[in-house]
Amino acid sequence: MKVVIAPDSFKESLAGPEVAAAVAAGVVQAAPDAIVDLCPMADGGEGTVAAMVAATNGQFLSAEVFDPLGAPIRARFGLLGEPAAANLPGEVGLLGAIGDTAGEGGPGDSENLTAVIEMAAASGLALVALDKRDPLLTTTFGTGQLILAALDAGARRIIIGIGGSATVDGGCGCAQALGVVFTGGDGEPLICGIAGGGVRDVTGIDLSDRDPRVGEASIRVACDVTNPLTGPNGAARVYGPQKGANSEAVERLEADLVHLAEVLRRRLGTDVEKLPGAGAAGGLGAGLVAFAGASLEPGAPLVAEAVALRRRLASADLCITGEGRLDAQSAFGKTAVTVAEIARDAGVPTLCIPGQLGEGAPTSSFAGVWPLAGGNITARQAMQNPVPLLQRRAADALRDFLDKH
């Protein structure tokens, strides 16, 4: 039998490729002749690059960029390979699927490379010390530099995951790195690296010096939230406090984003203020649409398309997915349910192995749910030692499935 293994990461515990490898070991234990196809998944948040590179036998690259406070750092991004199953049985198949084909290196020979970027690698909250977190001072400039690095590597299709940002700059910093020029009230260009507190100074926008490759590229944003740019559910009021903004800073950031939305309407004829997802990553969603012609898309389906999940499931007998916690929120575009829906369309049953099972979990989406935590195993224990538990649950789940079918 062929088993497609397509889990998300278990946040704060295991990355998606590690989850997939552990599940595969359990599958091989229960069915030594099984063909395993490891296809780690993501929804645009942390771990998206690693998952997609692993799922497609791609490669990692890195670039020197600025972090959210303007310090130089090395940030990693990925170039996707060709999604393909290992199609090898047993232990050999397992090693073939998860070997070290994804490494550092240069671009491949394809003229149509796809790059995958996590904005958090350059502009993420985790890059800023707790006592320095202030979205009035942080910028997405480094994310724009990563986009340029992907273009330099030959990519003409770019997927950007925009979870985990430290910023509320409406994407202005990112746009400056791409060559967009913002002018102030005196008509002079604003200094590069616009932060949240500098958005209010924008009065003019000039796209004429933007890198021409940006307009020629397909830029798709993997976004798992639908917040607008402004308002009670917007970037400043919902996410500003998480990034270090006090109540006064939140109101200033809100006013600045309202101002930016008006400038975009007046100067570019673009209205992104209420666009679902525009408020993601402190308004980077809006900025990528307005300044780079990007499209905002639900993260898990976009990743599934990029790693050819439908094609891989077409010849499968079973799919196994999972995520850190399966609960009521999982039904709203999260990875495990998205995978199950795609598998159902292909006529393939799906087993789910989550770290924890929460209230309101959509268990009916799956042929079986086997959480790590439960019985005499606490959630903390499951997070601290997930690999043997994943192997055991996968083996038990597969044996149970085979007994019933």
Q: What average pLDDT does this structure show over 350-364?
A: 96
The pLDDT value recorded for residue 11 is 86
pLDDT at 244 over 70: yes
CA angle 389, 390, 394 (to 5 degrees): 115
Tokens standing for residue 153 = 């590597």
Backbone angles phi, psi at 219, to 5 degrees: -115, 120
pLDDT at 333 over 90: no
Sign for the CA dihedral angle at 192, 197, 201, 207 comes to positive
pLDDT at 107 over 70: no
Torsional class of 70: left (φ above 0), alpha (ψ -120 to 50), beta (otherwise): left
Higher pLDDT, 102 or 88: 102
DSSP sequence for 273-308: TT-TTTTHHHHHHHHHHHHH--EEEEHHHHHHHHTT
* Burial call 155-175: b when 16+ CB within 10 Å, e when fewer: bbbbbbbbbbbbbbbbbbbbb
| Bridging pattern class, strands 318-321 and 350-352 | parallel
| Global pTM exceeds 0.85 | yes
Asked if 107 contacts 134 with a C-beta cutoff of 8 angstroms, the reply is no
The pLDDT value recorded for residue 299 is 94
pLDDT at 7 over 90: yes
CA distance 230 to 217: 28
CA angle 252, 144, 9 (to 5 degrees): 90
The pLDDT value recorded for residue 111 is 58
pLDDT at 94 over 60: no
Tokens standing for residue 98 = 């998860």
Q: What average pLDDT does this structure show over 305-329?
A: 96
Asked if 61 contacts 83 with a C-beta cutoff of 8 angstroms, the reply is no
pLDDT band at 46 (very low <50, low <70, confident <90, very high): confident
Q: What average pLDDT does this structure show over 36-47?
A: 94
Alpha helical stretches, state H, 88-140: 90-98, 120-123
Percent of the chain whose predicted confidence (pLDDT) is above 90:
87
Q: Give all domains of the chain, ordered by start, each with its CATH number.
A: 2-41+309-404 (3.40.50.10350), 48-78+102-300 (3.90.1510.10)
pLDDT band at 83 (very low <50, low <70, confident <90, very high): low
Amino acid at 94: L
pLDDT tens for 173-185 read: 999 999 999 999 9
Three-state DSSP at 345 gives: helix
The mean of the pLDDT values for the chain is 92
The pLDDT value recorded for residue 166 is 98
Q: What average pLDDT does this structure show over 255-266?
A: 98
**Residues sharing a CB contact under 8 Å with residue 378, sequence separation 6 or more, in sequence order:** none
pLDDT band at 405 (very low <50, low <70, confident <90, very high): confident
3-class SS string, 188-220: CECCCCCCHHHHHHCCEEECCCCCHHHHHCEEE
**Where is average pLDDT lowest: 17-26, 59-68, 82-91, 195-204?**
82-91
pLDDT tens for 121-159 read: 999 999 999 999 999 999 999 999 999 999 999 999 999
Block residue for tokens 């004829």:
269
**Residues sharing a CB contact under 8 Å with residue 49, sequence separation 6 or more, in sequence order:** 60, 76, 77, 78, 116, 117, 118, 121, 161
pLDDT band at 84 (very low <50, low <70, confident <90, very high): low
pLDDT band at 100 (very low <50, low <70, confident <90, very high): very low
Block residue for tokens 């935590």:
373
Q: How is residue 144 annotated by DSSP?
A: H
Tokens standing for residue 71 = 């310090």
Block residue for tokens 């030594």:
32
The pLDDT value recorded for residue 45 is 87
CA distance 308 to 195: 37
Block residue for tokens 């990553």:
281
218 CB-side CA count, 13 A: 8
Angle between helices 16-30 and 386-404 (to 10 degrees): 50
Closest CA to 352 of 334, 374, 337: 337
